Amino acid sequence: MAHPSASPSPAPGTITDLLLDWREGNAEAMGRLVPILYQAMRQLAGRHLGRERVDHTLTPTALVHEAWLRLVDQTRVAVTDRVHFMALVSRTMRHILVDHARRRLAQKRRAPADALPPPSEPGDAWSLDLIAINDALDRLQTIDERMYRVVECRFFGGLTEEETGQVLGVTWRTVHRDWLKAKRWLELVLEE
Amino acid sequence: MEPAPDDPVFWREASRLYDLLVDLAPPEREAALLAATPDPALQQAVRRWLATGPSVRIPEICPLPPDGLELPGLLAPGTVIGAWRVTRLAGEGGMGLVYEAERADGSFERRVALKVMSGPANSRAILDRFLAERRILAGLEHPNIAQLLDAGLTAEGEPWFAMEYVDGAPIRDWCQRRRLDRRGIVRLFRQVTSAVAHAHRRLVIHRDLKPSNILIAADGTAKLLDFGIAELATAPGERRVAARMLTPAYASPEQREGGESTIASDVYSLGVVLHELLTGTRPEAARPPDPGPVGGDLAHILGRALEAEPARRYPSVEALDSDLSAWLDGLPVRARPDTWRYRTACFLRRHPVAVLASAAAVVALVTLTLVARAQATRARDEARRAEQVASFLVGLLELPYPFDSAETTVSMRAMLDAGRAQADSLIAAGNPPDPQILESLALGYSGLADFEQSAAVNRQALRLRQARGQSDSAQSISRLLIAAAEMLGGHEVQARATLLPAIEPVRRAYGPTSDRLAQFLVTLLNIERRLGNLARADSLGREALRIIAHNGNQARNALGHAHTQLGHVAMERGDWRTAEAEYRASLEARTGASRLEMGSSMANIALAVAEQGRHAEAARLLAEARGLKASLVDPGDPEMSDQLRQEARLAALTGDHRRASAMYRDALAHYAQRGSSPHWRTTPALVGLGQALVAAGDHAGAEPPLRAALDSVAQRIEGQSRLRAEARRALAEVLRRQRRTAAADSLERLAGEELALLRGY
């Protein structure tokens, strides 16, 4: 069975309102913003990456920037909110990608036991790698929250060092060092 | 290469060293590293961290899926799932999407949160388990738990849950926004502990407690989300994968290592959440929480909840909650009523043949933990689990009694029944729990004096051991437990049939002079003695004592039992002096060990002493025994009715037959209140009552209890029985009064012959 098609995009106004509310310190706005953003990002990603039309030139960076342009009413928000929005989108990207990887692997496992093992596809390796990175990232969070957030912004959102620095309130140099350090650490634990 | 420890504290230290060394030239790094830490594991981790050219390369930016993004089904508004119609996407959680939904048929207005797990349930067994367990979850009704209303599988086989919709803020935001002080936070938090404790009593472990799973509604009511869902959503074989889905910041050390989720891990996660609410930061794992901002008793409470070693944490959420309550009231935390400690000590020493196990609540806790463990990954090996259980129990000894309510017995039974139902559903789903879990449940039933259930559950455990192809000696433990339950349930012949095949395997596996063998012999002795086969009982007792002495009298539990049983044999023979000596030896073996069993030995000595005419001494001993027992068991415990029966015997021996008959009646009434009591408890009371009534001149009243006693004995005794002889004598008096002299004479003669045989066997 195919799932029914997704609901229509939320109006840019909704996301903008919630973003503004959140920036003004309303924590509940964040709670409402995340699902709407998630839904919107899935549509955006699906539009570019759906089974029939894979855009191999696409990067998370492009998706995140497109989200900013499409989902937020530029006339009402300060430019400084852009990076915070993009950081949120980075996290959403992570969820969407990990979710996709998990489903993919679960469906592989669902194949009947007496059937031939399903052929290995490039997407399998991608899924396994992504889940391994995601798990290692969860571990990293318990070691150093800032390094973890740097990876989330840079790796899943394609934010630049400057943008990431603005999100976290540190200099791009710090982001640079953190990123190098975190990347090596992830490589280290993935080697095991 | 050695894998680096998966320990945040280790890595935080490594991270600090990395920063220290990264700007140095590579040749200088090594010297600085050696100077900075003596720990070779740490040195190696930092070296590798700093080294260039690892074999794994992480790209700068996450690549997108190469063969397209398959969008997991987003349900459009209007989609109907089960009885629910989706209204909107409400959020996204660790395991899937959350929708807001309403009743599809519009029959009544109810908003629900509909969670759809991503990833289909991929086998029949998971499906069965899912269906079995959702009933348990649906039974979780508590004002602070968002209730599971409905569950099922989508057409694609994805599990979905309809839960009570909670409109609220995560607890952390709520506390910050309201600027709650410590007392306010603790008060709010106790709603959470109350909910978790409720679930634990129903054998449901949350596994994923974190602030975002705890919402506070506008009126200040806390609601816990996702109870037991983490557990349900995963197949047993995938538990290690599931561990990754847990939020690592709130997961206990054992969960982070991919270990089992237990009551103790929920206690830990609660500790992390409370720490974060109170201080704004999460505690550092494996390090005592910073007492600075918290201070005093509250820091102690957090420290206890956050112990790295599960066995050292609060053994239950109730225990944590009671300390929080004490803190709010300004009372000292961690009160330790003696009663509880002794009950537990008592239970421990009785294991595995828990005859009177009044520490039923302990069993309940063990059961809970073990059942939870059964569902988690299997413990690495038997030894490790045994160790865990032992340290868990030892941890309990220092804690307040968690079930201090009049409903202990009732809730205990409900808990055991729930545990059994859960074990049954696991067995039905082809994922049987560890036999030890069933044996713990069986011990719990023994504690409630429900020996029938106990034996039935133990038999189930034996079947599991057999199905797993465990050795004869592993099966023999099951047989011992079954035999003990059967014996205590009054089925001695059956008990012997169960136990006998275990004796030789134990002799072979443990050796002819092992304490383990002695333990089996003592149980067999007990059975033979009850069947009236006194010569056999006596020789079994001698053999057991030789073995125990050979091993330096270390097996004090078995030693105490052996002397007690030999004392009983001597009492049967009418050899009061030997009986007294055996009972005194038993008391000596038990001194300092089990207070309940000491009480029972004292009462035994009292009766041997009373038979020798030393009534005042007997009365003193019985009073002391009563004091000991009363401090350890509930007034309704059969142990107290046994005590009453023994006091009645003394009253009869001192000639106060009216009082004796009243006391025997009371004891019988107490036994009856417990439902069915085994004949070995009721028959002596019936005989005593009949004798007392005869002595008091109420011959008509004496006949029914005496006949009932004789019927009961006739069905069971193979050899000789003093009780039967006494009953026959008393009944002979009744018949003589009815002028049925011939029948009376014949009974009298039978009684005399039996007593002679007993004396001279």
- Average per-residue pLDDT for chain A: 78
CA distance B289 to B309: 15
- Confidence category of residue B571, pLDDT binned at 50, 70, 90: very high
Question: Helix B8-21 and helix B40-50: axis angle, to 10°?
Answer: 60
How high is the pLDDT of residue B242?
43
Q: Tell me the percentage of chain A whose pLDDT exceeds 70.
A: 79
* Contact criterion met (CB below 8 Å) for B707 and B731: yes
Select the residue of A35, A96, A110 nearest B122 (Cβ to Cβ).
A110
Task: Answer with the residue of higher pLDDT: B3 or B733.
Answer: B733
Say if the Cβ atoms of B54 and A191 lie within 8 Å: yes
Q: Kindly state the average pLDDT of the residues B736-749.
A: 92
* Contact criterion met (CB below 8 Å) for B722 and B701: no
Select the residue of A27, A60, A158 nearest B177 (Cβ to Cβ).
A27
Distance from CA of A95 to the nearest CA of B (A): 9
How high is the pLDDT of residue A13?
64
* Segment B116-163, tens digit of pLDDT: 776 544 545 555 555 655 666 677 788 999 888 887 877 766 778 888
* Contact criterion met (CB below 8 Å) for B698 and B662: no
Minimum mean pLDDT among B24-28, B441-445, B672-676: which range? B441-445
Q: Kindly state the average pLDDT of the residues B224-239.
A: 58
Task: Answer with the residue of higher pLDDT: B400 or B227.
Answer: B227
* Segment B746-759, tens digit of pLDDT: 999 999 999 998 88
Which residues in A lie closer than 8 A to residue B75 (C-beta atoms)? Answer: 3-4
Select the residue of B88, B118, B170 nearest A99 (Cβ to Cβ).
B118
- B435's CB contacts (< 8 A; 6+ apart) are B461, B462, B464, B465, B468, B478
The stretches of B468-594 forming alpha helices (DSSP H) are 472-488, 492-510, 515-530, 534-550, 556-573, 576-590
CA distance B330 to B297: 10
CA-nearest residue of chain A to B250? A142
Distance from CA of B53 to the nearest CA of A (A): 9
* Segment B157-186, tens digit of pLDDT: 677 888 888 888 889 888 988 888 899 999
Task: Answer with the residue of higher pLDDT: B666 or B354.
Answer: B666
* Contact criterion met (CB below 8 Å) for B99 and B114: yes
CA-nearest residue of chain A to B73? A3
Q: Kindly state the average pLDDT of the residues B528-540.
A: 93
Token pair of A63, please?
Answer: 């998706």
Is the CB of residue B76 less than 8 Å away from at least one CB of chain A?
yes
How high is the pLDDT of residue B74?
67
Say if the Cβ atoms of A49 and B48 lie within 8 Å: no
Q: Kindly state the average pLDDT of the residues B560-587.
A: 94
Select the residue of B57, B64, B76 nearest A6 (Cβ to Cβ).
B76
- For an interface test with A, which of B69, B154, B171, B269 has the most A Cβ atoms less than 10 Å from its Cβ? B69
How high is the pLDDT of residue B378?
34
Q: Render the burial of A31-57: b for 16+ CB within 10 Å, e for the rest.
A: bbbbbbbbbbbbbbbbebbeeeebeee
Which residues in B lie closer than 8 A to residue A135 (C-beta atoms)? Answer: 244
CA-nearest residue of chain A to B283? A142
How high is the pLDDT of residue B118?
60
How high is the pLDDT of residue B693?
95
How high is the pLDDT of residue A51?
57
Q: B residues 173-202 near A, CB within 8 Å?
A: 173, 176-177
CA distance B642 to B636: 11
Highest mean pLDDT out of A14-18, B220-224, B677-681: B220-224
DSSP for B405-447 reads STTHHHHHHHHHHHHHHHHHHHHHTT-PPPHHHHHHHHHHHHH
Is the CB of residue B88 less than 8 Å away from at least one CB of chain A?
yes
Q: Kindly state the average pLDDT of the residues A59-81.
A: 78
Which residues in B lie closer than 8 A to residue A98 (C-beta atoms)? Answer: none
Give the number of other CB atoms < 10 A from CB of residue B236.
18
Token pair of B62, please?
Answer: 């996450």
| Of the candidates B549, B558, B557, B609, the residue with the CA atom closest to the CA atom of residue B579 | B609
Q: Kindly state the average pLDDT of the residues B298-319.
A: 82
Say if the Cβ atoms of B74 and A97 lie within 8 Å: no
CA distance B72 to B382: 42
Number of CB pairs < 8 Å for A and B?
182
* Contact criterion met (CB below 8 Å) for B160 and B82: yes
Task: Answer with the residue of higher pLDDT: B662 or B234.
Answer: B662
How high is the pLDDT of residue B258?
65
pLDDT at B347 over 50: no
CA distance A188 to B635: 63
* Segment B663-689, tens digit of pLDDT: 999 999 988 887 677 888 999 999 999
Which residues in A lie closer than 8 A to residue B50 (C-beta atoms)? Answer: 184
* Contact criterion met (CB below 8 Å) for B244 and A138: yes
pLDDT at B484 over 70: yes
pLDDT at B708 over 50: yes
CA distance B98 to B116: 6
- For an interface test with B, which of A121, A143, A152, A153 has the most B Cβ atoms less than 10 Å from its Cβ? A143
Distance from CA of A159 to the nearest CA of B (A): 9
* Segment B333-344, tens digit of pLDDT: 552 333 333 333
Minimum mean pLDDT among A172-181, B321-330, B538-547: which range? B321-330
- Average per-residue pLDDT for chain B: 78
Is the CB of residue B22 less than 8 Å away from at least one CB of chain A?
yes
Distance from CA of A45 to the nearest CA of B (A): 8
pLDDT at B311 over 60: yes
Phi, psi dihedrals of residue B91, rounded to the nearest 5°:
170, -175
How high is the pLDDT of residue B96?
64
Select the residue of A4, A35, A144 nearest B75 (Cβ to Cβ).
A4
Token pair of B689, please?
Answer: 């009552």
Distance from CA of A77 to the nearest CA of B (A): 24
CA-nearest residue of chain A to B251? A142
- Confidence category of residue B298, pLDDT binned at 50, 70, 90: confident
Select the residue of B18, B73, B247 nearest A181 (Cβ to Cβ).
B18
* Contact criterion met (CB below 8 Å) for B196 and B265: no
Give the position of tokens 């990264």.
B22
DSSP for A16-77 reads HHHHHHHHTT-HHHHHHHHHHHHHHHHHHHHHHHSTT---TT--HHHHHHHHHHHHS-TTTS
CA distance B192 to A186: 36
Say if the Cβ atoms of B119 and A144 lie within 8 Å: no
- Confidence category of residue B332, pLDDT binned at 50, 70, 90: low
CA-nearest residue of chain A to B93? A95
| Of the candidates B448, B281, B302, B279, the residue with the CA atom closest to the CA atom of residue B362 | B448
Task: Answer with the residue of higher pLDDT: B270 or A98.
Answer: B270
Select the residue of B61, B69, B92 nearest A100 (Cβ to Cβ).
B69
Q: Kindly state the average pLDDT of the residues B542-553.
A: 90
Q: Tell me the percentage of chain A whose pLDDT exceeds 90.
A: 21
Give the number of other CB atoms < 10 A from CB of residue B671.
21
Peptide bond into B352 cis (omega under 30): yes
Q: Of the residues B105, B173, B208, B417, which is catalytic?
A: B208
- B692's CB contacts (< 8 A; 6+ apart) are B648, B652, B657, B658, B660, B661, B664
Q: Tell me the percentage of chain B whose pLDDT exceeds 90.
A: 31
Is the CB of residue B578 less than 8 Å away from at least one CB of chain A?
no
Say if the Cβ atoms of B65 and A127 lie within 8 Å: yes
Q: B60 by DSSP, 3-state: which?
A: coil
- Confidence category of residue B72, pLDDT binned at 50, 70, 90: low
Q: Kindly state the average pLDDT of the residues B218-244.
A: 63
Distance from CA of B285 to the nearest CA of A (A): 9
CA distance B662 to B743: 29
- Confidence category of residue B71, pLDDT binned at 50, 70, 90: low
B404 is catalytic: no
How high is the pLDDT of residue B236?
46
- Confidence category of residue B291, pLDDT binned at 50, 70, 90: very low
* Contact criterion met (CB below 8 Å) for B408 and B361: yes
* Segment B374-431, tens digit of pLDDT: 333 333 333 334 333 333 333 332 222 233 333 334 445 665 676 677 677 777 877 7
Which residues in B lie closer than 8 A to residue A142 (C-beta atoms)? Answer: 8, 248-249, 256, 285
What is the DSSP secondary structure assignment for residue B715, as one 8-state letter?
A: T
Task: Answer with the residue of higher pLDDT: B64 or B330.
Answer: B64
Task: Answer with the residue of higher pLDDT: B350 or B559.
Answer: B559
CA distance A29 to B648: 74
* Segment B491-511, tens digit of pLDDT: 999 999 999 998 998 888 888
Say if the Cβ atoms of B71 and A144 lie within 8 Å: no
- For an interface test with B, which of A140, A184, A186, A192 has the most B Cβ atoms less than 10 Å from its Cβ? A184
Say if the Cβ atoms of B71 and A61 lie within 8 Å: no
Say if the Cβ atoms of A31 and B70 lie within 8 Å: no
How high is the pLDDT of residue A77?
78
CA-nearest residue of chain B to A113? B123
Is the CB of residue B6 less than 8 Å away from at least one CB of chain A?
yes
Which residues in B lie closer than 8 A to residue A38 (C-beta atoms)? Answer: 89, 91-92
Is the CB of residue B106 less than 8 Å away from at least one CB of chain A?
no
| Of the candidates B497, B503, B508, B427, the residue with the CA atom closest to the CA atom of residue B468 | B427
For the whole model, what pTM was predicted? 0.45
Select the residue of B15, B92, B248 nearest A139 (Cβ to Cβ).
B248
Token pair of B56, please?
Answer: 């794994």
Select the residue of B1, B79, B249 nearest A4 (Cβ to Cβ).
B79
Q: B residues 727-746 near A, CB within 8 Å?
A: none
pLDDT at A153 over 90: yes
CA distance B332 to B329: 9
Highest mean pLDDT out of B99-113, B124-138, B362-376: B99-113
